[in-house]
Structure 1
Amino acid sequence: MDSRRPRTKAADKRQRLTAAAARVLHEQGVERTTIADIARAADVPAGNVYYYFKTKDELVEAALSEHTRHLEVLTDRLDRLPDPRERLKGLVDAWVGQRDTAARYGCPTGTLAVELGKSAEGGLDLAVGHVVRRLLDWVERQFREMEVADPEGLSLTFVGAYQGMSLLSNALRDPEIMTREGARLVRGLDALT
């Protein structure tokens, strides 16, 4: 018998719980989500969750890690493009591609940032800030590579525009806000010299 098999099953179960935590917390929010909700979404018995995550806060941390992993996969893929302007346009395309989800639930990281920022317990509010900071830093690097004035300010404006269009799309339940405002961001990128 292969001694690695139990570890593979355990790693698979942990990953399913992590992915489910990211999805369910995004859809329901931290306050309304129970460990049982996450277990059900991951198809794991609720009692087994405690083997992998001792507290709900640990599940929130796992969800933030999942958001970070998604961001890294996306930016790694975009980094293969030779031009920073095209990388930023690719980022906008990815955002717009999630317009239906944004209209229904908002930005996964942004909604967690708002909710966790209000509780400010256990450092989770700071942890979500690290995910946002990774995105800001990546966007700023693209603007620096483009050699435009004030890359730090432009990155704040750019990511802020995304958060705004995501929030408005959610508040008005209108995914086309993402489409229209994404096109505006692309036009803005094309206008930069």
Structure 2
Amino acid sequence: MTNSTKQKPGKRDRLVAAAARVLHEQGVEKTTLADIAQAADVPVGNVYYYFKTKDQLVEAAIGAHAQHLHTLTASLEQHAATPQDRLKALVQGWVEQRELAARYGCPTGTLCSELDKRAGGLDRVAAGVMGLLIDWVEQRFAEMGRADSRELAVALVAAYQGISLLTNTFRDPELMVAEGRRLERWIDSLA
């Protein structure tokens, strides 16, 4: 294989990525292991080699959300000069995903909401991803010199979750655009 040839991800990685996508699109209860296997282009029998239960696969999908968040925030740290710019770039990233939000809602937020209605503790695992986001936003506000950084972080993430819900409810991506502009002005006003 040459260096320019891209290697296909392994079966486990494909299953996890497919699970994150299909769970977002269909929800945990409606999604079967066969749905995920088909989306991953993996024989359904192979799923059990990597994941003994559906909940183990759901937990791996939650881990994929956490990894995506880590990758995103690391990129924002590298490409945005100031904490204020990083927060506004985060908001812009949310706005860029408005079509997806209009169709399915926020990937992590909808998963948190759905898992809260089930027993088994996966709701707390998913909440951990939301906590990572709040912690990262809080740190940016603290770097801006804000003593109320935790409250501001919760307000920013809550505004995004709320607009994601409304964008999805009304299937109107322009709601996300308008809220994104408002949030950017709000962040500027706090500097």
Q: Matches of 2:132 and 2:147 in 1, distance apart?
A: 21
TM-score by length of 1: 0.93
Q: Matches of 1:44 and 1:156 in 2, distance apart?
A: 39
Deviating 4+ runs (over 3 angstroms): none
Q: Letter of the aligned partner of 2:68 in structure 1?
A: H
* Equivalent runs, 1:58-77 vs 2, <5 Å: 58-77=56-75
Aligned residues: 184
**How far off is 1:122 after superposition?**
1.9
* Equivalent runs, 1:77-116 vs 2, <5 Å: 77-80=75-78, 81-116=80-115
Q: Matches of 2:176 and 2:66 in 1, distance apart?
A: 22
**How far off is 1:123 after superposition?**
1.3
Aligned Cα RMSD in Å?
1.2
Q: Matches of 2:146 and 2:127 in 1, distance apart?
A: 26
Within the candidate set 157, 160, 164, 2:158 is matched to: 160
SS of residue paired to 1:54: coil
SS of residue paired to 2:147: coil
Q: Letter of the aligned partner of 1:118 in structure 2?
A: K
Aligned residue number for residue 5 of structure 1: none
Query: Structure 1 stretches of 5 or more lacking a match?
Result: 1-7
**How far off is 1:149 after superposition?**
3.4
Q: Letter of the aligned partner of 1:91 in structure 2?
A: L
SS of residue paired to 1:79: helix
Q: Letter of the aligned partner of 2:121 in structure 1?
A: G
Can you list the C-alpha shifts for 1:55-100, whole angstroms capped at 9, x where unaligned?
0001100110110111001000011123000000110011011000
SS of residue paired to 1:21: helix
Aligned residue number for residue 20 of structure 2: 22
TM-score by length of 2: 0.94
Of all paired residues, the percent bearing the same amino acid is 61
Aligned residue number for residue 172 of structure 1: 170
**How far off is 1:192 after superposition?**
1.1
SS of residue paired to 2:129: helix
* Equivalent runs, 1:129-168 vs 2, <5 Å: 129-168=127-166
* Equivalent runs, 1:20-59 vs 2, <5 Å: 20-59=18-57
